[in-house]
Amino acid sequence: MCGITGIFHRGKKLLPAELIVRSLDQMRERGNGLGSGYCGYGIYPEFRDDWAFHIFYTDNNARAGGVDYLKKHFLIKHAEPVPVRPVKTVTNRPIIWRYFLQLKDEVRQEFYDLSEHDIITNCVMEINSTISGAYVVSSGKNMGIFKGVGFPLDIAEFYRLDEYRGYLWIAHNRFPTNTPGWWGGAHPFGLLNFGLVHNGEISSYGINKRYLESFGYSLTLQTDSEAILYLFDLLSRRHQLGLELASRILTAPHYLVIEQSPPRWKKLLTAIRLTYGSALINGPSALIIATADEMIGLTDRIKLRPLVAASDGQMAYLASEESGITAIAKKPKKIYRLDAGIPMIFN
């Protein structure tokens, strides 16, 4: 189940959020009301150079702890509750705030051996794991994640998405199976400028989780999809392999396929399996990963979850169903059927 979709104007023209909402609602039956969400890029041009943190708090004590932590590490340029509308079907909501931040010079100097991205990542992990009731939902620049428990139209109405415009949007309609339906576990998941939506389940979660923890990641959101997001960060950013090679690592082929590959590919694919075996994700999956400049679609090695792509001039589309694309692009010039385990990259 689960419905995922993404739209991307590669010239970075701002698009109304209504497009991604309509695409996701076309796949409403793929969810059961226990989670929906949207991630938009280019939505905060007035704060484009600041880290934009969206944080869920379970109560005011958690909020006080979160604010104390942020004040210690950042200059808070602006802070406010995320604007919402009352929606009868959206209940048990957390306290939702957003902050536009700049890292303090003394923090940079204290952690001089780390990049700014590493420091921000460590801050996100520390807030999520040590401040009870506080969860950083997104932490990139000029982007934000809006998610919760509800159907796609209800969550869009709740967050007043009709007031936002962005050049890249990804979205998710959830049908949770092995993990709880709660606000922090709804998709998309975000870390730095990465945003991810995922349909499926990861049977390798235990191995992936232990592997990530050895690199300092804390998994606190009670879902296997969080692990995929952090694997992309580890491989593409920290190990500097890029998103395409990171995608190949996550869906590395079986050894039988490797043995039948041309010599050049056989050497590379063997090295991937030997070096990053613990990063391989097993189980039926389709996902969309986004950054400020790219949108990538990827399925598991035998394509047990659907994903369709299309392009039309500067516009690129990904969705679980073709109807999710044709609902907003009536006659796309080209429709792609993704090959199993091979990333479809729009940049």
pLDDT digits (tens, 9 = 90+) for 12-56: 999 999 999 999 999 999 999 899 999 999 999 999 999 999 999
Which pLDDT value is given to residue 56? Answer: 98
Task: Considering only residues 331 and 43, tell me which one the structure prediction assigns the higher pLDDT.
Answer: 43
- Nearest-Å Rg of the Cα atoms of the chain is 19
Residue 45 per-residue DSSP state: G
Domain, as residue range, for 101: 3-346
Q: Within a 10 A sphere around the Cβ of 309, how many other Cβ atoms?
A: 24
Asked if the model's pLDDT at residue 311 lies above 90, the reply is yes
Q: Tens of pLDDT along 207-259?
A: 999 999 999 999 998 889 999 999 999 999 999 999 999 999 999 988 898 99
Residue 27: the pLDDT is 95
Cα(75)–Cα(120) distance, rounded to whole angstroms?
13
Give the active site residues: 2
Q: What is the arithmetic mean of pLDDT over 152-172?
A: 98
**pLDDT tens sequence across 166-178:** 999 999 999 877 7
Mean pLDDT, the chain, rounded, equals 95
Residue matched to tokens 């109304």: 16
* pTM metric for this prediction: 0.96
Domain harbouring 140, CATH code? 3.60.20.10
How many domains, the chain?
1
- For the record, the structure tokens of 34 come out as 């226990």
